[in-house]
A and B are shown apart, each in its own frame.
Chain A
Amino acid sequence: NAGVTQTPKFQVLKTGQSMTLQCAQDMNHNSMYWYRQDPGMGLRLIYYSASEGTTDKGEVPNGYNVSRLNKREFSLRLESAAPSQTSVYFCASSDGQGPDTQYFGPGTRLTVL
């Protein structure tokens, strides 16, 4: 099992450009999450999907959209990137049955110039 995979690992964008971050999990988990992590900070939730077919806003959703393509895949889209979105983005998945079941991907480091 690969666990949670994310692509790309690194990305540099210019202000106003758009891009989609991809996330996939092979653990048959129901719930998936997108977080951002700024330097020296903990992770903050952007969006989550409690189950296939549902998505909801987290703590910092502005400037982002998500798509739960199927049970395996959960993508994060930046329609018009801004320098404030420079961050490391982590995808996670869980079976929704307790605190020790959120598994995190390796992250995507995004820089917006």
Chain B
Amino acid sequence: GESVGLHLPTLSVQEGDNSIINCAYSNSASDYFIWYKQESGKGPQFIIDIRSNMDKRQGQRVTVLLNKTVKHLSLQIAATQPGDSAVYFCAEYREWGARGTSYGKLTFGQGTILTVHP
């Protein structure tokens, strides 16, 4: 079956360091891969996505890399700040369903806890 999972459940870094969060996926039939940030007591917040036909995409302080050969996804956060402390999920996105009733199907991975120490 399809699955999206994470290599490391926890990651601790010092403020100012760069962070790398990894994700492995098994289903190649996806339209996008997405990273979400979830702070305690809140819903997931979209960070960045990458189309399945791309290798790299950069945002503000974040970069997502996609290696389709080994089915690996990573999120790089530059100059990590205490406010970046959260759980990070990778997710697979596919358009799903028949025309008129289709929706965006998200399949989430397990999550990595990022802790940033001042």
Interface residues of A (CB under 8 A from B): 4, 31, 33, 40-45, 48, 50-51, 54, 56, 90, 92, 94, 96, 98-102, 104-107
Asked if residues B102 and A100 are in contact (CB atoms below 8 Å), the reply is: no
Selected interface stretch from B12-20, B61-69, B73-81, B103-111? B103-111
The number of chain B residues with a CB under 8 A from chain A is 28
Q: Which A residues lie within 8 Å of B110 (CB)?
A: 40-42
Asked if residues B42 and A31 are in contact (CB atoms below 8 Å), the reply is: no
Closest 8 CB pairs of A and B: A42-B108, A104-B43, A99-B93, A99-B32, A50-B101, A50-B103, A99-B49, A43-B108
Q: A51-B100, A56-B97, A98-B104 are in contact. List 8 more A-B contacts (CB 8 A).
A: A42-B89, A43-B89, A43-B106, A50-B101, A90-B43, A94-B104, A96-B104, A104-B45
A-B contact pairs, 19 of them (CB 8 A): A31-B103, A31-B104, A33-B103, A41-B108, A41-B111, A42-B107, A42-B111, A45-B105, A45-B106, A50-B97, A50-B102, A90-B43, A90-B44, A99-B46, A99-B104, A106-B42, A106-B43, A107-B41, A107-B42
